[in-house]
């Protein structure tokens, strides 16, 4: 795949994921959180399943790869979706989107620990700047009081499980097809979410009639396009250029989340949010080696 096409695909995916934070905020404000989250993941299979049958992607999966697929299901699907969806009940889409911008830094740390990538002074600088950015964002969301909301805390958990999931995807992307990784993880992750929602929200399925057609269009965007197509495209990029380089593009997600929150949710964007965004992006550029590459090229 040509690099220019791959990079453009990543930028579009980041825009979709940024606006998806706004979409999820709308959905969890209308429907029971876990029930609609499980349905979103299952709807993502509408994108993946036809492609799985068209492409000769299936082969015998080793025990090792099977264990990694379980881990991917529990992190990128169950953990990521639950923490993010529940978190949006307790924090703004702006705060959530900006905190998610630290995923590249955490992924970089994970790559150093588990993929034997070097952890140098540039990455340490990136971690410090990213941490400072998250602190500023959280303070801005709490009117600069030294408190952290439950929603912000849950989004920090989202960052950790998503980074772990990306590392696991990289571990098996050379032996398992991207369609299979995405399809199996969404199938099992969606199944787990469904059973959890049945016990946690017994009447959740009966409350789905509350939404109008506009809300269900948002649901289709969030489920099929953002969760289904988006996860496939990102998993494909991890296979093509690696977890570290793919993660660089994730710092675009907060920008689109801010833009969508302002346009569609009319949320306030404070100076602290922009300062936190600047620190996070700068931290990402340091942590993923972009700054180092610029200095070497110069």
- pLDDT, tens digit (0-9, with 9 covering 90-100), for 46-70: 777 777 777 655 667 888 889 999 9
Six token digits for residue 240: 């093509």
Top pLDDT among 2 and 258 is at 258
Six token digits for residue 246: 């793919």
Residue found by looking up tokens 């700054």 in the block? 291
Angle (nearest 5°) at CA 91 between 279 and 16? 70
On the 0-12 / 13-18 / 19+ scale of CB atoms within 10 A, 88 is: buried
- For residue 249, the model assigns a pLDDT of 77
Other CB atoms within a 10 A radius of the CB of residue 1 amount to: 11
Top pLDDT among 268 and 145 is at 268
The pLDDT confidence band at residue 78, using thresholds 50, 70 and 90, is: very high
- For residue 158, the model assigns a pLDDT of 94
Residue 8 CA, distance from chain mean position = 18
Q: Which of 35, 263, 289, 24 is nearest to 155 (CA)?
A: 24
Checking if the pLDDT of 24 tops 70, the result is yes
- For the chain, the average pLDDT equals 83
Checking if the pLDDT of 99 tops 70, the result is yes
pTM score: 0.81
């Amino acid at each position: 795949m040509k690099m220019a096409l791959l990079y453009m695909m990543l930028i579009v995916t980041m825009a979709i994921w940024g606006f998806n934070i706004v979409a999820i905020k709308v959905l969890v404000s209308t429907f029971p959180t876990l029930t609609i989250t499980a349905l979103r993941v299952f709807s993502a299979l509408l994108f993946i399943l036809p492609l799985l049958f068209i492409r000769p992607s299936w082969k015998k999966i080793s025990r090792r790869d099977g264990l990694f697929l379980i881990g991917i299901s529990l992190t990128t699907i169950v953990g990521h979706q639950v923490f993010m969806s529940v978190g949006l009940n307790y924090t703004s889409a702006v705060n959530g989107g900006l905190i998610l911008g630290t995923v590249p830094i955490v992924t970089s740390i994970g790559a150093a620990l588990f993929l034997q990538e070097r952890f140098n002074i540039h990455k340490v600088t990136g971690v410090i700047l990213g941490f400072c950015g998250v602190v500023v964002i959280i303070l801005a969301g709490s009117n600069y009081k030294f408190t952290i909301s439950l929603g912000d805390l849950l989004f920090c958990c989202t960052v950790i499980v998503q980074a772990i999931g990306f590392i696991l995807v990289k571990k098996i992307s050379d032996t398992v097809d991207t369609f299979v990784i995405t399809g199996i993880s969404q199938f099992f992750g969606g199944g787990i979410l469904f059973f959890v929602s049945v016990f946690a929200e017994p009447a959740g399925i009966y409350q789905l009639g509350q939404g109008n057609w506009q809300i269900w269009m948002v649901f289709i965007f969030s489920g099929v396009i953002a969760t289904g197509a988006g996860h496939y495209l990102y998993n494909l990029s991890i296979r093509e250029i690696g977890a570290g380089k793919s993660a660089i593009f994730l710092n675009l997600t907060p920008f689109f989340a801010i833009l969508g929150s302002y346009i569609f949710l009319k949320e306030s964007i404070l100076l602290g949010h922009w300062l936190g965004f600047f620190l996070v992006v700068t931290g990402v550029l340091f942590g993923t080696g972009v700054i180092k590459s610029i200095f070497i090229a110069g």
